[in-house]
């Protein structure tokens, strides 16, 4: 069991002039490394074998500063790569010993809860994590005090939830884990109990989902609105909430369907159903009249997380949903929470960090800024768990 006291002892033994910022190779690793390099930190990526070239070749740090060559200025952002067979090998003692020896702080991402057993991350990982490691598992919908619980306790509107298909009384979206890739969801829509039965049976027959996964599916009211992800950063050192940017998702094969004329969509649907697998993000802006509502729900989530899961959210998080227009009023409805760095490096290309910092700031740089401030103030133990 890794206790708070163990992490504090580790941090106290670190040489804070030689901190290494590390991430798993995927999701937001390059964003994290680029931002860390800007603040003078050493960077490291733990990459899975067969997917390491992105970090060990294409974006590796090369060219020495000040040398009389064409590479006078250092390029790339990844200083070192540790190649593992599986991401879960991070727990191995040799890997952990190496990371601890070079004063490593891990930046957690979605990969931590896709490829790891939560209990191992919480109880066996001795390397400090920036943020609250206990909150990672709360993104799951079948655990105590999960994201729905926190949103409801915070007074943030979420879609209506249906306990069973028999209760369906309007358009719903069903979120059920895929059979092949348990961390991805095979979304489907239904408008009645009969429609649910028909579509779920089609997916079961095709092997897309399993009966066990279907029994655990989340059935949500479908919100008709403009989808927006609100990406935040909360500094527990200064008690300030920042809006890092807004974006929306690109999903395959849904985006391909949407590019077809309506009549051709209907023909394609006879052969193949669309999937909603996230493949990237597009930056978007939010009109200023909605910003106060965005900050309001962000602050509510921060406050409730402190109360329910102390010390609460630290650093990056996102509330993902849609802006619905009902009865002439615009309301933000949230249906997903990211309790770590969101997977959208393009947030810096929205104007919101510039309004605050006077220039665009990426998530990676903002995290590095906070770690640097914590080092300067002797408060690393307040931002790492």
* Structure confidence at residue 123 (pLDDT): 87
Quick one: pLDDT at residue 180? 73
Would you place residue 31 in the very low, low, confident or very high pLDDT band (cuts 50, 70, 90)? very high
For residue 70, name the pLDDT band (cuts at 50, 70, 90): very low
Smallest CA-to-CA distance from 132 within 100, 103, 104, 106 is with: 106
Q: What is the pLDDT of residue 226?
A: 94
> What CA–CA distance (Å, rounded) separates 196 from 205?
14
Looking at every residue in the chain, the average pLDDT score rounds to: 92
**Closest Cα to residue 151, out of 313, 292, 288?**
313
Q: Which CATH class is domain 147-156+224-350?
A: alpha beta
What is the torsional sign of CA 359, 315, 282, 322?
negative
- Give 261's Cβ-side CA count (13 Å radius): 2
Range 65-72, long-range pairs (CB < 8 A, 24+ positions): none
Q: Are 19 and 55 in contact (CB under 8 A)?
A: no
The per-residue pLDDT for 280 is: 85
Tens digit of pLDDT for each residue in 148-193?
A: 999 999 999 999 999 999 999 999 999 998 887 766 677 899 999 9
For residue 270, the tally of other CB atoms under 10 A from its CB is 7
Band of pLDDT at residue 71, cut at 50, 70 and 90: very low
For tokens 């609250």, what's the residue?
Answer: 132
Task: State the average pLDDT over residues 72-80.
Answer: 88
Q: Which long-range contacts (CB under 8 A, 24 or more apart) does 300-307 make?
A: 300/154, 300/155, 300/156, 301/150, 301/151, 301/154, 301/156, 301/337, 302/234, 302/241, 303/154, 304/150, 304/153, 304/154, 305/135, 305/150, 307/153
Check residue 117 and give its pLDDT: 80
Q: Which H helix or E strand runs over 324?
A: strand 315-326
Which CATH number is correct for 161-221, 3.30.465.10, 3.30.1490.20, 3.30.470.20, 3.40.50.1820?
3.30.1490.20
Cα separation, 171 vs 189, whole angstroms: 7
**Would strands 20-24 and 161-162 be described as parallel, antiparallel, or unpaired?**
unpaired
Three-class DSSP category at 78: strand
Least confident of 9-23, 205-219, 224-238: 205-219
pLDDT tens figures, 269-318: 888 877 777 788 899 999 999 999 999 999 999 999 999 999 999 999 99
pLDDT above 90 for 215: yes
Per-residue pLDDT at 69 exceeds 50? no
Phi, psi of 248 (to 5 degrees): -140, 160
Q: Does the model's pTM come out above 0.85?
A: yes
Output the pLDDT for position 182.
63
Tell me if 13 sits within 8 A of 95, measured CB to CB: no
Is the predicted pLDDT of residue 67 greater than 80, yes or no?
no
pLDDT of residue 343 exceeding 60: yes
C-alpha triplet 32, 38, 41: angle, nearest 5°: 75
Domain ranges of the chain: 4-130, 147-156+224-350, 161-221
Share of the chain above pLDDT 90, in %: 75
Residues 77 and 43: their CA atoms lie apart, in Å, by 7
pLDDT in tens, 33-64: 999 999 999 999 999 999 999 999 999 999 86
Q: At what angle do helices 288-308 and 147-154 cross, to 10 degrees?
A: 110
Higher-pLDDT residue of 257, 89: 89
Q: Count CB neighbours of 151 within 10 A.
A: 22
What radius of gyration, in Å, describes the C-alpha atoms of the chain?
A: 22
Cis link prior to 36 (omega < 30° from 0)?
Answer: no
pLDDT score recorded for residue 120: 85
Between residues 96 and 254, the one the model is more confident about: 96
Residues 365, 35 contacting (CB under 8 angstroms):
yes
Decide if 4-130 and 161-221 have a common fold: no
29-38 and 363-376 helices cross at what angle (nearest 10)?
50
Measure CA of the first residue to CA of the last residue in the chain; give whole Å: 13
- Share of residues in the chain with pLDDT > 70 (%): 97
For residue 201, pLDDT over 90 is answered with yes
Mean pLDDT to the nearest integer, 106-125:
86
Cα 59 from Cα 56, distance rounded (Å): 7
Task: State the architecture of 4-130 in CATH terms.
Answer: 3-Layer(aba) Sandwich (3.40)
Distance, in Å, from the CA atom of 355 to the CA atom of 293, rounded to the nearest integer, reads 17
The pLDDT assigned to 183 comes to: 63
């Amino acid at each position: 069991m890794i206790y708070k006291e163990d992490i504090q002892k580790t941090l106290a033994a670190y040489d804070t002039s030689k901190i290494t910022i590390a991430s798993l190779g995927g999701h937001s690793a390059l964003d994290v490394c680029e931002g860390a390099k800007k603040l003078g930190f050493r960077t490291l990526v733990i990459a899975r074998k067969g997917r390491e070239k992105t970090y060990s070749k294409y974006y590796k740090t090369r060219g020495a500063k000040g040398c009389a060559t064409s590479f006078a200025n250092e390029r790339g952002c990844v200083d070192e790569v540790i190649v593992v067979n599986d991401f879960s090998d991070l727990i191995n003692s040799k890997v952990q010993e190496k990371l601890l020896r070079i004063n490593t702080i891990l930046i957690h991402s979605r990969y931590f809860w896709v490829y790891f057993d939560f209990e191992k991350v919480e109880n066996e990982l001795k390397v400090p994590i920036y943020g609250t490691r206990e909150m990672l598992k709360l993104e799951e919908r079948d655990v105590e005090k999960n994201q729905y619980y926190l949103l409801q306790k915070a007074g943030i509107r979420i879609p209506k939830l249906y306990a069973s298909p028999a209760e369906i009384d309007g358009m719903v979206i069903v979120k059920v884990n895929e059979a092949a890739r348990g961390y991805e969801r095979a979304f489907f829509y239904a408008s009645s109990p009969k429609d649910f039965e028909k579509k779920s049976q089609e997916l079961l027959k095709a092997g897309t989902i399993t009966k066990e996964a279907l029994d655990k599916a989340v059935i949500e009211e479908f919100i008709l609105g403009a989808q927006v992800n609100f990406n935040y950063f909360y500094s527990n050192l200064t008690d300030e909430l920042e809006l890092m940017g807004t974006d929306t998702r690109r999903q395959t094969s849904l985006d391909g369907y949407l590019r077809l004329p309506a009549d051709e969509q209907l023909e394609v649907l006879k052969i193949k159903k669309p999937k909603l697998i996230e493949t990237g993000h597009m930056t978007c802006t939010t009109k200023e009249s909605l910003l106060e509502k965005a900050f309001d729900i962000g602050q509510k989530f921060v406050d409730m997380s402190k109360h329910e899961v102390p010390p609460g959210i630290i650093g990056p998080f996102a509330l993902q949903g849609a802006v619905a227009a009902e009865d002439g009023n615009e309301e933000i409805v949230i249906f997903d929470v990211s309790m770590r760095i969101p997977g959208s490096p393009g947030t810096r290309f929205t104007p919101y960090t510039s309004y605050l910092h006077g220039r665009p700031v990426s998530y990676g740089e903002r995290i590095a800024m906070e770690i640097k401030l914590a080092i300067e103030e002797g408060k690393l133990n307040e931002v790492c768990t």
